[in-house]
Amino acid sequence: MVAGKKSEPSVRYALIDCDPGVDDALALAMGFASPFFRYAAVTTVHGNVSARLAYRNARRVVSFLRGHLESSIPDVPVYPGASLALDGSRLNRSESRMIHGPEGMGAMFDKKRRLPRLGRGSSKPAWEVLVGHALKRGSQLTIITLGPLTNLALALRHAPEVFSRVKRIVVMGGAARMPGNVTPAAEFNIYCDPLAAKEVFSSGLPITMVGLDVTRRALLSVDEFKGGGSFRAALRDLIRVYARFAKKRRRAENITLHDPLALAVAMKPDLVETASCRVDVDASQGIARGMTVVDLRENKESRVKNPVDVALDLDVKGFLAFFISHLREYRGWDVDEE
């Protein structure tokens, strides 16, 4: 250290890779309201919607959220990512449209609400952005993936050595001891690109898997979105289709906060209990395609090769309180300013 200069306090950076998507937007809302991370970038990927819509939706959501925050945050650049799985396969999104709406944002940006300007964009591909920030930020960087793992797998193929420097990778995806949600075997994000997931989980990097074992317990009553001001009304429109699907499918007046939970775990790891396990992914074309095979045997070798921290239990009340407390940081959650 140079004499007379004080060392700068360590800054925690995060990069969010997502496919917005209703719960992706809710995750971004929660994350941006917290001072825990400084957001280096948002990258987008095919998944809930096409890659084109994911990129547009993310830019629009980032702009919308920054415009409503009580305290300002730096502009967060958004970068476009992969449009197909690594094996070139393309997903049938008919059910995704029923869950998230035809363009992924429910009714949040329909004709009755003025569209926010598109936030800062770029033509640089997502995998290149991931490599660049891993190289630049090192142990200050946490990567949170909220969609298929295609971008991260591509980045690992190009420069695997730089990702050993990052602090942690938190993956929303998979299931350890329960059925999938897109097939009996597979969770949606993993099913979208099983080969990418297989490569990521076998990489030996510090990964936390936040899958259906915990996200299916992260249920928020739709009553939380009643009343309030214009921001809460916008979120009420965001979740409208999502909540309608949940009511039809589960006969429940709540929504599942898959993606917000993964981001919350990146900020507050003690919300979940984890086990260190080997995770493999079925990348075949068979009935188990996309299944995350998690070795939970008690008599497994004490030293697991390429272990993944798999979330198995959740502090439900703690997480929901954490989530709502951050939404209160937006103007128009409770009442609008004059």
Catalogue the active-site residues: 258
Both tokens of 265, joined, read 């775990």
Triad 78, 13, 206: Cα angle to 5° = 105
Length of the chain (residues) = 338
Dihedral through CA 216, CA 219, CA 222, CA 223, nearest 10?
Answer: 170
CB-count exposure of residue 307 (10 Å: 0-12, 13-18, 19+) = middle
Type of residue found at 207: I
Cα–Cα distances in angstroms (integers) from residue 292 to residues 183, 191, 213, 321, in the given order: 12, 9, 12, 30
Q: How far apart are CA 163 and CA 138, in angstroms?
A: 8
Q: How far apart are CA 66 and CA 203, in angstroms?
A: 35
Q: Is the CB of residue 264 less than 8 Å from the CB of residue 322?
A: yes
